Amino acid sequence: MSKQDGRGRAVTLEPVDDPAAHILHMDLDAFFASVELLDHPELRDQPVVIGSRNPRSVVSAANYVARRYGVNSAMPMAVALRRCPKAVVLEPHYDRYTKFSRQVMDICRSLTPLVEPLSIDEAFLDVAGARRLLGTPYEIANELRRRVFSETGLTCSVGVAATKFVAKLASGRSKPDGMLVVPLAETQSFLFPLPITALWGVGEKSAEKLRRMGLNTVGDLASTPLPTLQGWIGDASGAKLHELAWGRDPRVVVTEHHEKSVGHEHTFGVDVTDPEAIRRELLRLSGQVAVRLRHAGLAGRTVALKLRFGDFTTITRSKTIAEPTATGRRIYEEVRELYDAVSQPGQRIRLIGVRVEQVREGDGGAAGLWDDDEDWREAEQTLDALEARFGRGTVRPAALLRSDVEKRHADT
């Protein structure tokens, strides 16, 4: 049985045994902040923000108390402190985060060899083969949470379901420090009341399109006949989204990861202060990274930005997206968002870099459950074919063509 509290948090209170629900999603709660609070237990009930008070700094993480004030990661520190003036700012210690992450992943692997880390603080586990030794998925999830806390002092939330997609949603609903089991037979009753944005890859832009069609909840979309949905949003996107709305997700836990990254950097001849010039360079670099990914048959889930300022101070910021991508436009939109979060008027930029990490085989399209990038992907694949036939640089984004014209005018 699960119970929902006033904050919308849902947790499973009594043992549940559904052999079909054997996928776990483990997510450490407010990971960076929680690690820092191990050394500062007196601050647990206060708003804590991880970062630097430097004017250029952004929030690396925030505990749940600070989040109630609207403070989120990647937010400029100045904005965070305006929203929460009493926040305690602690410097990050990334070496400690890596150490604790490895420790938690080792705990996961001691319960099942089928562990797929998604990032430094979350992972999928398939515990179907562990029943004989360790009990039901419910019992294994409880043991995982118990051991993480007893061995590290950290808390985690765990979702248990028949698919990756539903397990991840369940862990999010049980945060912080909770567990939610969604038996296979209850998948639809769990999914249908959720807002349309609960579907992976459906952001506000996509959600607005769907709301205009009268689709506000997952159930609304699930009840829409597939041909009608495909007529609205296309055959591929309609089919993927329809499957997801019914809780169907064929992906399995993948343990073998060949960790790679693909990136490009550019050092300016003179420091650049114009944000539009920086964004154009981000567009160019994103396109180059995407071409390399596609040529290698790869796609990646983490997009990273590197900035080196005029005083040689260097920062990196990254974001993990729902599905792997090899589309230049998607890479650009994500890295531009990272840049906009840290940019300050008058900043002198010496070097800029774009990198895609957590790279694996795939075209960045087949696994997508809602594909905002379908048109861009087809356009970029057409560009690949044109370049293969007529040479590199034959066709370019209009923004980069304008940039070239501006440079030629500046030189004359």
pLDDT in tens, the chain (412 residues): 566 665 568 999 899 999 999 999 999 999 999 999 999 999 999 999 998 877 667 788 999 999 999 998 878 888 999 999 999 999 999 889 999 999 999 999 999 999 999 888 999 999 999 999 999 999 999 999 999 999 999 999 999 999 999 999 999 999 999 999 999 999 999 999 999 989 876 777 778 888 999 999 999 999 999 999 888 877 877 888 899 999 999 989 988 665 578 899 999 989 999 999 999 999 999 999 998 888 888 889 899 999 998 888 889 999 888 778 888 899 999 999 999 988 888 899 999 999 999 888 765 554 443 445 555 555 555 555 545 544 445 445 555 545 443 444 443 3
DSSP code, position 176: S
Residue 72, classified by CB atoms within 10 Å of its CB into exposed (0-12), middle (13-18) or buried (19+), is middle
Q: CATH homologous superfamily for 1-185?
A: Reverse transcriptase/Diguanylate cyclase domain (3.30.70.270)
DSSP code, position 107: H
The verdict on pTM exceeding 0.75 is: no
Domain extents in the chain = 1-185, 192-245, 262-411
Q: Which residues are catalytic?
A: 122
Helix H or strand E segment including 356 = strand 349-361
How far is it between the farthest Cα atoms of the chain? 77
The CATH fold of domain 192-245: DNA polymerase; domain 1 (1.10.150)
CA distances from 75 to 262, 317, 412 (A): 26, 11, 41
Q: Residue ranges for the binding site for Mg(2+)?
A: 27, 121
Q: Residue ranges for the binding site?
A: 27, 121
Was domain 262-411 assigned CATH 3.30.1370.10? no
